[in-house]
A and B are shown apart, each in its own frame.
Chain A
Amino acid sequence: MLTNQEIAEDLIRQFGEDGITNPVEHYGLLNVETTADRIIAVVEYLHRHPRFKFNFLTDMAGIHFPDAKGKELGMIYHLHSWENNVRVMVKVFVPIEAPVLPTMVNVFACANWMEREAYDFFGFQFEGHPNLIRILNVEEMDYFPMRKEYPLEDATRKDKIDELFGR
């Protein structure tokens, strides 16, 4: 029976107190935070671990916290261990001026499209990705929709004029 305490202790033993920070448990799920230069090592360690065997990358989620200066864009890797039936979330935060992360495609092949989606919506630059282009939006789009930056509405729009809404 694998507990979150064991996983957290093992990770801190392997990567140090400054490598794995802020281990918390949300609804029974272990979250740990790490840095962009260690993320591949952490995920690969969890993947190849003889006992933990986190061999399934469930999801890669992106998030934008505009108030956390220097650590605005976050990438959360959801890992799942089939044999032990345990999930863990590994978070990385990068600044919005340089949202660069190493690519996970060499560890998990499914990360290919997940990273393309993260680039499409948040603007993450994954180093080493074979084909980092937009996947769900039109190619000509020049902004990143899921960032919490909301420009004023285009004043030259011809539909949805104020008259139609009684203004």
Chain B
Amino acid sequence: MSDIQTAKAPRIEAPDGYQGEGFFATQLDKVVGLARSNSLWPLPFATSCCGIEFMATMGSHYDLARFGSERPSFSPRQADMLMVMGTIAKKMGPIVKQVYLQMAEPRWVIAVGACACSGGIFDTYSVLQGIDRIIPVDVYVPGCPPRPEQILDGVMQLQEIAKNESIRRRNLPEYQALMESYAIQ
């Protein structure tokens, strides 16, 4: 029993800062970036099979909560990241857009699965060929369906984005140009 080696937890590097007795001073956007990236609350927009894989990701084996997504909610006002998982039909498009518009900044979008990324194998009259035709997407997770490890990798990529983004990106001209191109105020 004594020769079981416990796994060593990976060290998370603290940002550069000035440390003293009982305080740690660093840049504001580093702290805000850390806070945002480690508490991304998802809005699971699960439509099809990828939604089932997401259910597995949320379960205890491939726990998504350990990445900070402790509170998945179906209320857009209280969610940080919109995870669109599954086939989006053309009739569902305006609904996805309305859910995205109801989210408050900062908000990110993960397109999980081939159907959300590009329409998948359904190149047909009823399927929207990728949700990036209606809303801006930050991370694409390919797969049909992607394994839970893949979805977790997508969330980790989003964590990197959230950590390194400017804290008020909605004032950046590129962001405003992007929103213009989607006709979003």
Chain A interfacial positions (CB closer than 8 Å to B): 136-138, 141, 145, 159-160
Contact = CB atoms under 8 A, between A and B. Distances in A.
Contacts of B118: 159
Given A137-B91, A138-B90, A138-B91, A159 B125 contact: no
A132 B125 CA distance: 21
Contacts of B90: 137-138
B129 A145 contact: no
14 contacts: A136-B91, A136-B126, A137-B90, A137-B125, A137-B126, A138-B90, A138-B91, A141-B125, A145-B126, A159-B118, A159-B129, A159-B130, A160-B123, A160-B129
Contacts of B91: 136-138
Contacts of A138: 90-91
A145 B123 contact: no
B130 A145 contact: no
Given A141-B125, A145-B126, 5 more contacts: A136-B91, A137-B91, A145-B125, A159-B129, A160-B129
A141 B90 CA distance: 11
Contacts of A137: 90-91, 125-126
Interface in B117-145: 118, 123, 125-126, 129-130
Interface of B: 90-91, 118, 123, 125-126, 129-130
A25 B11 CA distance: 74
A138 B125 CA distance: 10
**Closest 8 pairs between A and B when the two form their complex, measured CB to CB:** A145-B125, A138-B90, A138-B91, A159-B129, A137-B126, A160-B123, A137-B91, A159-B118
Contacts of A136: 91, 126
A136 B92 CA distance: 11
Contacts of B125: 137, 141, 145
Contacts of B123: 160
A154 to B, nearest CB: 11
Contacts of B129: 159-160
A141 B89 CA distance: 13
A141 B126 CA distance: 10
Determine which residue in A137, A138, A145, A160 has the highest number of CB atoms from chain B within 10 A of its CB, and name it.
Answer: A138
A109 B106 CA distance: 49
Nearest to A137: B126
Nearest to A139: B91
A145 B90 CA distance: 14
A63 B47 CA distance: 29
